[in-house]
Amino acid sequence: MLIGLGYGILIPAFQIMFVNMAHHNQLGTANSMYFISFDLGIGLGMIAAGKIATAYNFSFAFGFSALLNMLAVFYYWGVSKGSYDKNKLLKEALK
C-alpha cells in the first residue's frame, strides 16, 4: 500500500517538475524524456538489484537501494534544486 501511495504521489510530481522546465513547444519532448528515463531506470534498476541480490543477499540489495535513494535526494538538494528553481517557468503560479 505504501509503495502504491508513493508511486501515486511521486510520479505525477516528478513529471510536473520536468514539464515546468520546458517551454510550450517542448512539452512533448519533456514528457517523453521523463517516461524514457523512468522506464530505463526501472528496467536497469531491476537487473542491477537482481545481480546484487544474487551476489550478496536481499538485505544488502535493499540497503544499497536505500543508500542510492538517499544519495539521490542529497544530489537533488545540493545540485539540481538550484537549477530547477532558476529554470522553472511557473515561478509565480507555484508560490
Residue 94: pLDDT band by 50, 70, 90 thresholds? low
Domain span holding position 53: 2-22+32-86
pLDDT tens across 5-51, in order? 888 888 888 888 888 888 888 888 989 988 999 899 999 999 999 99
For residues 65 and 83, which has the higher predicted lDDT (pLDDT)?
Answer: 65
Residue 55: what pLDDT?
A: 94
Q: Count up the domains in the chain and report the number.
A: 1
Prediction pTM value:
0.67
**DSSP string covering 6-33:** HHHHHHHHHHHHHHHTS-GGGHHHHHHH
Residue 92 in domain: no
Arithmetic mean of pLDDT over the chain = 84
Q: How far apart are CA 41 and CA 58, in angstroms?
A: 19
Residue 27 in domain: no
